[in-house]
Amino acid sequence: MTEITKEIVAEHGLTEGEYEEVLKILGRAPNLTELGIFSVMWSEHCSYKSSKKWLKTLPTEAPWVICGPGENAGVIDIGDGQAAIFKMESHNHPSFIEPYQGAATGVGGIMRDVFTMGARPIANMNALRFGRPDHPKTGHLVAGVVSGIGGYGNCMGVPTVGGETNFHSSYDGNILVNAMTVGLADTDKIFYSAAAGIGNPVVYVGSKTGRDGIHGATMASAEFDDDSDEKRPTVQVGDPFTEKLLLEACLELMATDAIVAIQDMGAAGLTSSSFEMADKGGVGIEINLDLVPMREDGMTPYEIMLSESQERMLMVLKPGREEEARKIFHKWELDFSVIGKVTDTGRMVLTMNSEVAADLPVGPLADAAPEYDRPWVKTPLSPVIKPEDVAAPNDLGEVLLKLMGSSEIASRKWIWEQYDHMVMGDTIQRPGGDAAVVRVHGTSKALAITTDCTPRYCYADPAMGGAQAVAEAWRNITATGALPLAITDCMNFGNPQRPEIMGQFVGCIDGMRSACNALDFPVISGNVSLYNETNGTGIHPTPAIGGVGLLKDITQMTTLAFKAEGDIVLLLGNLTGEMGQSIYLREIEGREEGAPPRVDLAAERKHGDYLREMIGKGLVTAAHDLSDGGLAVALGEMAIAGKIGACINLETDLPLHAALFAEDQGCYVITVRPDDLEMVRGFALAEDILLQNIGTIGHTDLKIDGGLTISVDRLRAVHANWLPELMSRPGSE
Amino acid sequence: MKAAVIVFPGSNCDRDLKVALTQSMGREPAMVWHGDSELPDTDLIAIPGGFSYGDYLRAGAMAANSPIMREVVRKAESGTPVVAICNGFQIATETGMLPGALLRNASQKFVCKDVDLLVISENERFVGGFQQSQVVRFPVAHHDGNFYADADTLDELEAEGQIAFKYVTPEGEITDEANPNGSLNNIAGIYNKAGNVLGLMPHPERLISEVLGGTDGKTFFDHLVNSIV
């Protein structure tokens, strides 16, 4: 038997202190298999040891929340006995090393989390961050990640309906691939993971276990260095066809009442799934590893327990229901094996070749995982950049064209045309709008879904950036007419052992908490990805938010496209003209500086609630929030989508460039029919809301008095061409 | 009227096709599992899109050899109308019901978007709901939709009126720019010689109501159902 040396302990990513804790729990030295199990269970990825203290401070409850964080995904009530189940998860480290498989298995994993709970996945989303556009690896990574996401979701027949993509040098060595899935279930048919029933059979279903992905969770808990490419063998390989069969088989079995508990095998595979099920149920489990379906000969207990082979599930069945379940899985040509049983010992006992391979107490391993209060320092704040601190440009038209064709604002069509975004026949708002809208099949209601985060704001002021990410998700859902209900978060940060990184984390959580509370928008699921660093340089703090809202009547949906000539264009909200961290400053002056725009949560709430009410009354013909690039870019996007121009006359005390390009928060551009103007105004006046008439839709140009006149065709061309041109450079495919 | 939708492991547009047919027929089609060796009594066979058998080997190749397809081919030969969409079209070429092959898209990338299609040949049953030379809009969503046939076959398809749809600009012009996948002669859909089997890459079942963005697909299925009844 291998002797456990200091070096082996260190290779498993456990600190000396953690290893002492292992010895204390066991009262003896672990064998290699046991050490491997401790290693993955106590990895940052599985244990949340650096983040737990802070995550606990986020609001997770509301009357419509059925299940908050802690299960495979969160669950909310959407009325009529139906629930939406969703979660977002990172697959950053694998995607950098092997972009196609890394992204594909990220999508596969998150869909499994959702259908494990009894939901049919109805929409996929993603949030992607790549390095600077001219970095030699960027094109290759974009191409690989996008085709990987499409390759998996398209084959599963689940539409990928949208997402967001940023490019910044802070991601040159650590891209972020965050995938979100939303599923639909009946509220009385939700499945949880707590094992129960002493003697009940523990069943393995899905693909066979191979040697792929061993130590993936440990890899995701360490920084990269120049040799990271050598970690390629730890990236899993996905098979969406098998997952499609697994989905159908699981849903077929779930229609019966044979399942006691079910858990997918994700990070840390059989180890994590078995321990979580046992721990949640307060029971023990015995597994005979000889019965695990294996793809390769000669696998050791260590390899079986740590494999991250994809498309596998662990279930506890009611006694006597094995044959019924086996038939279903065999119909779908999947492996089905009773590998063990639930016990009352509170211990995980693994045997192989009639020998005990591991014997570990479940509770201490799962619950006594280390929890750290890592030292942190507050991020120093940057000064506000006032409108008068930024010189007026020579030509506002050239500025708008440059911004529309810039890396942050240009059209992402090249990406989403590679995703099947219409399969299942319920996509009623396709990618490219503020939020995607997917009808609840067979009903007249729908879910609005968005992913949002502005990492440059979070870097400059984590608390403001964290609040902004939540507020923007809320705003994007509101702009479709839907009521925002809950979020999932994917917290991507650098090395938490550095106090300034931990300070970013603490700050972002602080801002998110304020926004979630102010907007009644609780966190119901999420994931943390730390150590996104290469050679000591961290990414911008990126708390990606996935938001879901409910549209009660699909006939009351708005889109951002200008609709009809003669409609009145209104600006809802107040412009401050503060230019810090704006795309304008970055693209025109080459400065990434200043404080991000302020988020006024009370105004945010008031403006959003008003807009949703107006949409609900059928008074709004188009709506779009102000975000990257400010008012002028919002108008440009609405004109491009509607294939029609507008004449804008903005009365403002601000310098025109500041009014047009500052990224003021809590604001929307909306359009109304001329006949409805007085009514919309009246409601605004009653609520003391600033609503400014800024123009009329019509003609083929976007014309802003005193500023610019550009044809919509020209705007469309620069907006459309940037990404295809980037991706047609040599080496991009 | 009765319709049957063939379901393979990995089919994923079977539900969408069922919804579209149900809307037009006023009753549900039979969903027939690939392992069955007999088809129910049916007036129309529909082969849906998706990734049957995960597209292993070649898109459609394994499904073409499943027990149910022998039965589908036999029915098609005896005149039962068959509509084969996307992966269904790939399967139909693999069985030999339709000539040619669907290769990887010229761009090498999956493509999902609405396309404009010109109705080319007269075929009352399938496209009688449209005018000849009308431009209609259905979405495509495929990785292997690049229609290929040898020169003689291509000439014959053109000469015999077997071309159903071609990819065109919104104005109806046949251009390279309008071609989403590199198909020869911009071919999006074809008929067999007898005219009772239609294979097409675009998905009419995806645009069957205003809320989804268009109704050309509804027109297609409404007419198909009426012409069979």
Query: What is the residue-averaged pLDDT of chain A?
Result: 95
Which of B112, B114, B207 has the highest number of chain A CBs within 10 A, making it the mutation to test binding with A? Answer: B112
Q: What is the pLDDT of residue A422?
A: 98
Backbone angles phi, psi at B85, to 5 degrees: -110, 130
Question: Are B10 and A241 in contact (CB < 8 Å)?
Answer: yes
Arithmetic mean of pLDDT, A27-47: 92
Arithmetic mean of pLDDT, B8-29: 97
pLDDT at A578 over 80: yes
pLDDT tens column, A318-353: 999 999 999 999 999 999 999 999 999 999 999 999
Q: Is B34 a catalytic residue?
A: no
Q: How far is A575 from chain B (nearest CA, A)?
A: 35
Distance CA B120, CA B112 (A): 23
CATH architecture of B3-228: 3-Layer(aba) Sandwich (3.40)
pLDDT tens column, A175-206: 999 999 999 999 999 999 999 999 999 999 99
Chain B positions touching A240 (Cβ under 8 A) are 51, 54
Arithmetic mean of pLDDT, A360-379: 92
Cβ within 8 Å of residue B20, ≥6 positions away? A425, B204, B205, B208, B217, B218, B221
Chain A positions touching B19 (Cβ under 8 A) are 425
Q: Does B19 touch chain A (CB under 8 A)?
A: yes
Q: Does B170 touch chain A (CB under 8 A)?
A: no
pLDDT at A1 over 70: no
Distance CA A672, CA A619 (A): 6
Q: Which residue of A has its CA nearest to B51?
A: A155
Cβ within 8 Å of residue B201, ≥6 positions away? B85, B86, B89, B102, B140, B142, B145, B147, B181, B183, B188, B189
Chain A positions touching B10 (Cβ under 8 A) are 155, 241, 244-245
pLDDT tens column, A434-489: 999 999 999 999 999 999 999 999 999 999 999 999 999 999 999 999 999 999 99
Q: What is the pLDDT of residue B161?
A: 96
pLDDT at A214 over 80: no
Cβ within 8 Å of residue B152, ≥6 positions away? none
Domain ranges of chain B: 3-228
Distance CA B119, CA B167 (A): 9
Q: What is the pLDDT of residue A227?
A: 61
pLDDT tens column, B116-140: 999 999 999 999 999 888 999 999 9
Q: How confident is the model at residue A247 (pLDDT cuts 50, 70, 90)?
A: very high
Q: What is the pLDDT of residue A219?
A: 58
Arithmetic mean of pLDDT, A556-563: 98
Neighbour count for residue B228 (Cβ, 10 Å): 15
Neighbour count for residue B170 (Cβ, 10 Å): 10
Q: Which residue of A has its CA nearest to B109?
A: A418
The contact set of A with B (CB < 8 A) is: 147, 150-151, 154-157, 239-242, 244-245, 332-333, 416-425, 427-428, 430, 439, 554, 733
Contact of A293 with A204, CB cutoff 8 Å: yes
pLDDT at A235 over 80: no
Question: Are A333 and B9 in contact (CB < 8 Å)?
Answer: yes
Q: Among A38-42, A88-92, A155-159, where is mean pLDDT lowest?
A: A38-42
Question: Are B205 and A425 in contact (CB < 8 Å)?
Answer: yes
Q: How confident is the model at residue B77 (pLDDT cuts 50, 70, 90)?
A: very high
Q: Among A40-54, A686-700, B1-15, B98-112, where is mean pLDDT lowest?
A: A40-54
Contact of A176 with A129, CB cutoff 8 Å: yes
Q: Is A616 helix (H, G, I), strand (E, B) or coil?
A: helix
Of B9, B13, B55, the CB nearest to A245: B9
Chain B positions touching A422 (Cβ under 8 A) are 112, 139, 141, 203, 206, 212
Contact of B96 with B58, CB cutoff 8 Å: no
Chain A positions touching B54 (Cβ under 8 A) are 155, 239-242, 244
CA distances from A113 to A71, A119, A265, A475 (A): 9, 9, 9, 27
pLDDT at A114 over 70: yes
Distance CA A594, CA A578 (A): 9
Cβ within 8 Å of residue A442, ≥6 positions away? none
pLDDT tens column, A633-683: 999 999 999 999 999 999 999 999 999 999 999 999 999 999 999 999 999
The token duo for A331 is 């119909």
Contact of A387 with A654, CB cutoff 8 Å: yes
Q: Does B9 touch chain A (CB under 8 A)?
A: yes
The token duo for A361 is 């107490």
Q: How far is B193 from chain A (nearest CA, A)?
A: 31
pLDDT at A45 over 90: no
Contact of B83 with B164, CB cutoff 8 Å: no
Q: Is B71 a catalytic residue?
A: no
Q: What is the pLDDT of residue A46?
A: 85
Angle made by CA atoms A172, A95, A242, in degrees to the nearest 5: 165
Angle made by CA atoms B55, B60, B64, in degrees to the nearest 5: 135
Residues paired with A22 in a beta bridge: none
Q: Give B85-148 as a DSSP string.
A: ETHHHHHHHHHTSSSSEEEPPTTSS-EEEEEEEEE-S--HHHHTTS-TT-EEEEEEEESS-EEE
Q: Give A76-116 as a DSSP string.
A: EE-STTEEEEEEEEE-HHHHHHSHHHHHHHHHHHHHHHHHT
Of B16, B143, B211, the CB nearest to A423: B16
pLDDT tens column, A62-101: 999 999 999 999 999 999 999 999 999 999 999 999 999 9
Q: What is the ipTM of this complex?
A: 0.97
CA distances from A638 to A77, A162, A573, A621, A643 (A): 33, 18, 18, 11, 8
pLDDT tens column, B137-158: 999 999 999 999 999 999 999 9
pLDDT at A217 over 70: no
Q: Give B1-61 as a DSSP string.
A: --EEEEE-TTB-SHHHHHHHHHHHHSSPPEEEETT-S-PPS-SEEEE--B-GGGG-SSTTT
Cβ within 8 Å of residue B68, ≥6 positions away? B6, B32, B33, B34, B35, B36, B37, B39
pLDDT at A231 over 60: no
The token duo for A461 is 């002021």
Of A147, A239, A420, the CB nearest to B141: A420
CA distances from A97 to A38, A550, A710, B109, B220 (A): 25, 37, 43, 21, 47
Cβ within 8 Å of residue A44, ≥6 positions away? A50, A220, A221, A496, A528, A530, A531
Arithmetic mean of pLDDT, A536-560: 96
Backbone angles phi, psi at A438, to 5 degrees: -125, 120
pLDDT tens column, A475-527: 999 999 999 999 999 999 999 999 999 999 999 999 999 999 999 999 999 99
Of A244, A424, A733, the CB nearest to B15: A424
Looking at this protein, which amino acid is placed at residue A346?
G
Q: What is the pLDDT of residue A729?
A: 87
Q: Mark out the alpha helices in A168-257 (DSSP H runs).
A: 216-219, 240-254
The token duo for A309 is 């082979």
